[in-house]
Amino acid sequence: MEKITLSDKTFKPYIPYGDIAAAIDKVADRLNADYARCGEIPVLVCVLNGAILFCAELMKRLDFDCELVSMKLSSYEGTSSTGIVREVMGLSGSVEGRRVIIVEDIVDTGTTIVSMTETLKEKGAKDVRVCTLLLKPEVYKKQVPLDYVGMEIPNRFIVGFGLDYNELGRNYKDIYVIDQ
């Protein structure tokens, strides 16, 4: 893994794909244990665009039937959160009366997860669980429980494996951290 440059920033290797895959395996094992005999088909809500790679990899590892819908929210400009969540694209399907698993790439401040959980409940979801590949515990202070967490990381700006800097860098299979 070598450094990469995206627009005006340089990023250095941080989390290799092998570690990401192991974290996804761990999350999938827990989901399989919880949903394999649940008797209902849950709906995965993929949070676009960042969670696309995580959601795809996760779904390949699930042993139970599930449906997939997506939703696009935005709260970032450049390398920092605006603190305001904008709904860029609403839900692509119904969640009414359904068990829902939010599939998110990263949870940091939690503003997006809180907003999304409220939206899904308003739209009639029976149960909402949160599944995230990455968590920044030092900045997450919200009350919404995070049911499935792949790995915890420090509060640093990262790209790769779906995560972007101004829409660049999502396509890298490894994760990179800003090189300051």
Prior bond to 32 cis, omega within 30? Answer: no
> 16-152 has which CATH code?
3.40.50.2020
Taking the domains of the chain in order of start, what are their residue ranges?
A: 16-152
Alpha helices (runs of H) in 36-179, residue ranges in sequence order:
52-60, 111-122
Q: How far apart are CA 42 and CA 171, in angstroms?
A: 28
Contact 152, 170 (CB under 8 A): no
**Mean pLDDT, range 31-40, rounded to an integer:** 92
pLDDT tens track for 92-130: 789 999 999 999 999 999 988 998 999 999 999 999 999
Q: How far apart are CA 7 and CA 29, in angstroms?
A: 38
pLDDT tens track for 41-54: 999 999 998 999 99
* Cα 78 from chain centroid (whole Å): 18
Q: Could you tell me the pTM of the whole model? A: 0.91
Q: Which residues are catalytic?
A: 108
Q: What share of the chain in percent tops pLDDT 90?
A: 79
Alpha helices (runs of H) in 3-101, residue ranges in sequence order:
17-35, 52-60
Contact 109, 139 (CB under 8 A): yes
